[in-house]
Amino acid sequence: MPENKFLLVFNTIHDVLRAEKILKQHKVPNELIPVPRNLSSDCGMSILLEGDIATVTGYIGQVPAVGVYSFDGQEYVPVIIGHH
């Protein structure tokens, strides 16, 4: 499975922290970063993580992400889960 960087965007800091707690439990490396301006003008936070996105969404399934993007170092590209 390709190990890539992914960005998860949530509605509220509450969901960000819920997801962060779950990722920490599963030892998925992650970092909270401000939501990139080109994705949203929100002043919210998003989670940048490394891992297999299908596995990760399995862990945090209950937490409603409003956007999932892959990140190649330059651009954020929307990802549809379930397709490999």
Partner 1 sequence: MIYLDNAATSFPKPAETIDRLNDFVRNIGGNPGRSGHTLSLEAARIIFEAREKLTAFIGMEDSERLIFTLNGTESLNMALLGFLEAGDHVVTSSMEHNSVMRPLEYLRRVRGVSYTPVPCCADGFIDLEHLRKAVAGKTKAVVINHGSNVTGAIQPLREIREAIGDVCLIVDACQTMGSIPFDMKENAADILCFSCHKSLYAIQGVGALYVREGIELAPLKFGGTGSRSESIEHPMFLPDRYECGTPNTPGIASLLGGLSFIERRGLANITKKKQALRSRLVDGLTKIPGVRVYGHRPRDAGSYLAIVTFNIDGMLASHAGYELNKRSLFVRIGLHCSPVAHQTIGTFPAGGLRASPGYFTEESDIDIFVEAVRAIAGK
DSSP state of 35: P
- For residues 45 and 58, is the Cβ–Cβ distance under 8 A? no
Strand order in the sheet with 65-71: 30-34, 45-51, 4-10, 65-71, 76-78
| Part of the chain binding partner 1 (CB under 8 A), chosen from 27-35, 52-60, 67-75, 76-84 | 27-35
| Candidate residues 24, 26, 29, 33; the one interacting with partner 1 per rule CB under 8 A | 33
Residue with smaller CB distance to partner 1, 20 or 53: 20
Query: To 5 degrees, how large is the angle CA 73–CA 63–CA 40?
Result: 45
Residue with smaller CB distance to partner 1, 33 or 77: 33
- For residues 44 and 16, is the Cβ–Cβ distance under 8 A? yes
Tell me if 18 contacts partner 1 by CB under 8 A.
Answer: yes
| Part of the chain binding partner 1 (CB under 8 A), chosen from 15-23, 51-59, 68-76 | 15-23
Residue with smaller CB distance to partner 1, 44 or 50: 44
